[in-house]
Structure 1
Amino acid sequence: MSYINPTDFAKKMVDAGEAKVFMSTRDTLIRAYMAGAILALAAAFAVTVTVNTGNPLIGALLFPVGFCMLYLLGFDLLTGVFTLVPLALIDRRRGVTMKGLWRNWGLVFAGNFAGAFTVAVFMAIIVTFGFSEAPNEVGQKIGHIGEGRTLGYAAHGAAGMLTLFVRAVMCNWMVSTGVVAAMMSTSVSGKIMAMWMPILIFFYMGFEHSIVNMFLFPAGLLLGGKFTIMDYLIWNEIPTVLGNMVGGLTFVGAMIYATHYKTSPARIPDTADEQPLAVPAE
């Protein structure tokens, strides 16, 4: 699969973060919009497969097709730039500032949301025949997901919020591992294989992904889900964004940067430890 060693792809991570900071507003928005739309379509696909087969594992096994597609096309998710862009700032790349970081994050958030919301509207039309009848089984499932992952957390109060945040942290631990995994190979098949594994884990485990939720929850509201916009924002989207940021930057970006890009000097052997092993008497 033309494997690239960690030292080399760590440099590619920092270079990618720098490039995203200086990308034009138009290109950033277009790439973020398409990423949000493709990931939302993959989520709709996975829910449809789960409903039709009755087996969530099959839906989780197939969901990564959207993630792989959008990264092979060079599009950007908020969860990915949470991990890559700060590395360019930490590395003190010339011209990279906090203002540039926030600009990139803000544009990618807006583009991802617009793309995901577009697919939410399209799917709502499809599962209701243009809002002329009640949602079909897939539409009902989407509505129930929104209820369970807002009001379900709210019912547990602070413990629910903690659970939501930790699920979001673990989500981007896996998703950003997928983003980095794409840099481990120079072949398409190698990239897909490496990306597929962590994305499968996040989706099947029910972790909270801010961009997937930009599709599921607006779609759920359009389809009559029994929760409100404020429920969505307070008991899902805002904590999920924060958790995704912590998970990607802390457990993926910072760790790889620290050990593979800014590698500590090797230990100098202690001369006392270099004595030859005693040869047992015959």
Structure 2
Amino acid sequence: MADEEKNQAKEQDVTSNGKVDRPSRQFYIPSQIIDEFGEKGRDHLSKPFSGQFLLAMTAGSFMTFGAVFSVLLAVGVETKGIYHLLSGLGFAAGYAMVFVSGAVLFTEINVLLPSYLFNKANLMKKSIYRFWYATYIGNIIGAFLVAVLIQISGSLAPEFYSELSMYLDHKMKFLDHGVKGWFQVLVSGILANWLIGMAAFLTTAARDFTGKVLGTILPVVLFVAGNFQHSAANMGYFSMGILASDQYTWYEYVFLNLIPASIGNLIGGGILVSLLFSYAYKEDIQTSLGQGKRKKKKANQ
């Protein structure tokens, strides 16, 4: 009887064409993820400029919320490992809101638009670079406006600002190294957006909400713990810092951190994520975005 049941189970696993019927995957494979990146990049470009700018401001606002939450969760925590974990989880909330809502974040665009460009011939339109610029400015404005609202609300306790001061010192420690520090911020920015690019990679791979949140959390916790310089994240911290403290000036934040970090973010997201995977899986990318199509395998392979 047991043998008959096993045979019936095997027969049910075989489809009419003789192939084994396996359950469908619950995630996208890498070539599909790069394909999705390109699709998202194209979708963002197809929106009217007003919509693009509003979504950029929205993403910037989420960065300030994430920065505030990361500081709040870490207040009073002495154990370094737990401190970094809680801080990273706090900031991951901001990124999760960006990824799931479709808001436009400069550092995510550094992955999506190159994926579109690398897989589309002769695409050098001014609208792309205008969109890139508008996203960056929109993120800054959104981050600052939320910081203003938080300050006006008077919601945060003095302990928050003491902790924020330590965060700012940690972010701006490169000032002590002069020109070398400027380039250290740039390299740190490469590492930061490599990780955020992989957060976008894992989030896109997941097909349900839980998977998307987990895919966001892991790389974000790592970049926060490592103090890697992520321009969009720093917009949130610095917006609060400008309003709450005079320990650094706005031009120190912008010229000695945000600019080199942003350059590094472009390299990290565009080259180490988008270009790397676009080239590695170029034969498998098979949407209208790509120039190449999957080559037919020879009969003897």
TM-score (norm 2): 0.79
Paired residues of 1:143 and 1:221 also in contact (CA < 8 A): no
The one-character-per-residue Cα deviations of 1:183-216 (angstroms, maximum 9, x if unpaired) are: 1122111222222211111111111111121121
**One-letter code of the match for 1:89?**
L
Residues in 2 aligned to 1:229 and 1:164: alpha-carbon distance in whole angstroms: 17
Residues in 2 aligned to 1:210 and 1:262: alpha-carbon distance in whole angstroms: 33
Equivalent residue for 2:220, pick from 199, 207, 212: 199
Change (3 A) 1:93 1:15: farther
**Residue aligning to 2:70:** 46
Following TM superposition, the consecutive aligned residue runs of length 4 or more in structure 1 with deviations greater than 6 angstroms are: none
Q: How far apart are residue 147 of structure 1 and its match?
A: 4.2
Among the aligned pairs, what percent are the same residue?
23
SS of the equivalent of 1:81 reads helix
Q: How far apart are residue 141 of structure 1 and its match?
A: 2.6
**One-letter code of the match for 1:260?**
Y
SS of the equivalent of 1:186 reads coil
**Is 2:275 the partner of 1:249?**
no
1:259-270 equivalent positions in 2, closer than 5 A: 259-262=280-283
Paired residues of 2:57 and 2:141 also in contact (CA < 8 A): yes
Paired residues of 2:171 and 2:229 also in contact (CA < 8 A): no
Equivalent residue for 1:123, pick from 150, 159, 182: 150
Q: How far apart are residue 149 of structure 1 and its match?
A: 2.9
Instruction: Specify every segment of 5 or more residues in structure 2 that has no aligned partner in the other structure, as ranges.
Output: 1-24, 285-291
The one-character-per-residue Cα deviations of 1:91-146 (angstroms, maximum 9, x if unpaired) are: 2258x4241221111121122111111122233334588xxxxx712123323433
Residues in 2 aligned to 1:219 and 1:178: alpha-carbon distance in whole angstroms: 25
1:130-169 equivalent positions in 2, closer than 5 A: 136-150=158-172, 152-169=173-190
Range with bigger deviation, 1-10 or 80-89: 1-10
SS of the equivalent of 2:281 reads helix
Cα RMSD for the two superposed structures: 2.4
Residues in 2 aligned to 1:128 and 1:184: alpha-carbon distance in whole angstroms: 37
SS of the equivalent of 1:261 reads coil
**Residue aligning to 1:16:** 40
**One-letter code of the match for 2:34?**
A
Paired residues of 1:60 and 1:200 also in contact (CA < 8 A): yes
**Is 2:60 the partner of 1:33?**
no
The one-character-per-residue Cα deviations of 1:235-262 (angstroms, maximum 9, x if unpaired) are: 1111111111111011101111111234
**Residue aligning to 1:111:** 138
Residues in 2 aligned to 1:118 and 1:227: alpha-carbon distance in whole angstroms: 19
**Residue aligning to 2:92:** 64
The one-character-per-residue Cα deviations of 1:4-59 (angstroms, maximum 9, x if unpaired) are: 11122221111222222222112111211111111210110110111143423222
Q: How far apart are residue 61 of structure 1 and its match?
A: 2.9
TM-score (norm 1): 0.84
Paired residues of 2:87 and 2:221 also in contact (CA < 8 A): no
Residues in 1 aligned to 2:154 and 2:181: alpha-carbon distance in whole angstroms: 31
